[in-house]
Amino acid sequence: MGLNPLIKNNWIEIQKKSAVPVNALGIKIDPKDEKTLKVWKEEAIDTFLKK
């Protein structure tokens, strides 16, 4: 089961503006939050990390 396309697109746009992993609200993801980081990688949001 994937993310809702609207949420995913929003998350991508927010991630493009940040140099650290952020959630769909734009808040930095805690390195201990393995569930969110797993979704972040599975949904390929990590490819939009600002470099």
Sketch the domain layout of the chain as residue ranges.
5-48
User: Of 34, 1, 47, 33, nearest to 11 (Cα)?
Assistant: 47
pTM, two decimals, is 0.86
Query: How confident is the model at residue 2, as a pLDDT?
Result: 80
SS3 25: coil
- pLDDT reading at 51 higher than 80: no
Determine the length of the chain. Answer: 51
For the stretch 1-49, pLDDT in tens is 588 999 999 999 999 999 999 999 999 999 999 999 999 999 999 999 9
Query: How confident is the model at residue 20, as a pLDDT?
Result: 96
